[in-house]
Structure 1
Amino acid sequence: MAEEFYNIKVKRGSEEIPMEQFKDKVLLIVNTASQCGFTPQYKGLQETYDRWKGKGLEILAFPCNQFGEQEPGSDADIKLFCEKTFSTTFPIFSKLEVNGPNTDALYMHLKKNAPGIFGSLDIKWNFTKFLVDKNGKVVKRYAPITKPEAIEKDIEKLVQG
């Protein structure tokens, strides 16, 4: 399963980045949006990243415009907004789809390995979070209302484990 995870490639601008690049890292993967009620979670994500990046955590943000069209900007606009508004330093990838026929391979894998409530595979809204261990195993899925700081105990166990 981890092998499958590490074979996935994601886009950042014109670059294709293999998830293998994040081997031996604990990952918090989030679908994000700049014009959402949960957008202030970028601040919590950055604070969590600042606390844990030196201990083996990477936060990977994947903008998505599938929920109320709350991420209409270009990749460059999104990156600039996040850096200016929330001083983000974690990677923000190219916009992708998390549901439907054009679901990105990363999200197909995440949803299959950590279904939502009642076994649903759909992502319900922006800022759904997935925690992945150092071996590429999807450990847990968190609802959009779960703040990044509430996940830190789970992150701590994985970075120390």
Structure 2
Amino acid sequence: MKSALVVIDVQKGLFEPEPAPFDADLVISRINTLSSRGRKAGVPVIFVQHETADGALSHGTPVWELDPRLQVAPGDHLIRKTTPDSFLRTRLTELLTKLEATHLILCGYATEFCVDTTARRAAGLKYHVTLAADAHTTHDKAHAPADAIRAHHNATLPAIGSYGVPIDAILSRDIVFNEGA
């Protein structure tokens, strides 16, 4: 399986305002570790950025930019999106086809929206999905705290078998990059 690491919506406008997302510093640290390990194994790293026509995440504004704590390297890929689905009306499928990726390692923000939607769409498109279980996050919501939302998705996404491909939730330290195996 050829893998790609997809980092979803780790942007200034979502991570800098207080309160920060749950476990934000650790999540970014884990994403940086995954990115570094992935690059060393020849795995492409793709950063997805959400944007709005105007308002909170307008394209090109300071809040739209990637969080400055992320370690972005030359050769990494950038994808712009306008919905919670990183595939819808983007060039992600085209890029993954060019990279010959069949396995996606997903991390980032927001667990219950963009991460969940992208994971389900990827599985529907027959990509094997690994959710970096401790490298995705969200904010507390009225109905549930962020840590419970993350735990819920780490438990429920792998329970979906109807796509015919697995969705695994694995701690970032246990994700193995063995390209070509």
- Give me the TM-score of the superposition, normalised by structure 2: 0.43
Tell which structure's C-alpha radius of gyration is larger: 2
Greater relative CO, 1 or 2 (CA 8 Å, sep 6+): 1
